[in-house]
Amino acid sequence: MNQKVLLMGGSYFIGKKIADVLSKEYSVTVLNRGTKPKSENVETIICDRNDSQAMKIALSEKHFDFVIDVSGTNAEQSKILCENLNLESVKSFVFISSSAVYDVEHLNTPFSENDFLAENKYWTDYGTNKIEAENYLIKNFDKADKNLFILRPPYVYGENNYAQRESFIFEHLLKDKPIIVPNNGETKLQFIYSGDLANIIKTLIQSNLSGINIFNVGNKKPITINAWIMACANAIGKKAKIICFDYEASSYSARDFFPFFDYNNVLDVNKINEIYSQETPFIDGLKIAFEQFLKDRDNIIFKPNVIKNEENILKSQNIN
């Protein structure tokens, strides 16, 4: 009999990829609000995780060997989940946190798992809410004597990515539109392919690791904004026209015209590489993402304010 996995989320992007990978070896149940089509080969519980009473009813007769929380964003959601789980049967709990937890304004890169966590000007409440969720889970699972894995990815990419990142670049490339980058485009970013993240989770729950373990997860090497755009272009056989823009001399912020904050988001991933070191070649991951983008393209509504800002910036630079 297959071991049972509860996957919080599981209907889109990261969660869907995790469900696809784990359902080959485990009996997977996803819990979400039912706003997306149901995934194949998994059981679905439709429930609002913010509703404690509904969660109690939904989970009261359920027993799981592993719990993977992709959709949790704050301590209250973690608390509701843990209080309504039958924890006796749970061997390991995996929480997808974020590199947004680091005190990036006062740290040097690469950020390591032991670095200081604090609110930063880029991620604000998102980062602090993840910190509070981590702290709740650490306290809760330390007392419960259960295995807890906290994963801190940088930017996740891949098929079905709802964040308009690689899709934003693909759209510009297909339309031969110039791509405006913050300053000189040499800010460093770090990525992880959604399939690699799913395989890391599978490896961890199958490992002999015990207790509380925190891992940065990401590709071994960062990449500059310019190099990322060129990789996207190479993956689809197009040429990119990159426009450098000194946004700090204007009233714009980087996110007003570009899909990333302008800071070096680079993690030390040596610890996870000792356990799982495989990595999908960046071009290969982007090609897979592009194939799905073409299928979804007609349904993607790009942010009107970003499009308008781009037009105004290009006009100010006398670029057609």
Q: What is the pLDDT of residue 1?
A: 64
Q: Which of 66, 119, 70 is nearest to 97 (CA)?
A: 70
Residue span of the structural domain in which 179 resides: 166-189+221-264+280-312
Same domain, 153 and 50: yes
Between helices 166-174 and 225-236, what is the axis angle to 10°? 60
Element (H, E) at 157: strand 155-157
Residue 60 DSSP symbol: T
Can you give the CATH number for the domain in which 227 is found?
Answer: 3.90.25.10
Dihedral (Cα; 5, 162, 194, 282), 10-degree rounding = 170
CATH of the domain at 51: 3.40.50.720
Cα–Cα distance between 233 and 166 in angstroms, integer?
A: 10
CB atoms within 10 A of CB 8: 24
User: Model confidence over 126-163: pLDDT tens digits?
Assistant: 999 999 999 999 999 987 778 999 999 999 999 999 99
pLDDT at position 50, please?
A: 96
Tens digits of per-residue pLDDT, 263-315? Answer: 999 999 999 999 999 999 999 999 999 999 999 999 999 999 999 999 999 99
Same domain? For 245 and 198 the reply is: no
Q: Which amino acid is at 26?
A: Y
Taking only the tens place, the pLDDT of each residue in 68-97 is 999 999 999 999 999 999 999 999 999 999
Indicate the number of domains in the chain: 2
**CA pair distance 172, 232, nearest whole angstrom:** 11
Task: Supply 30's token pair.
Answer: 């996803």
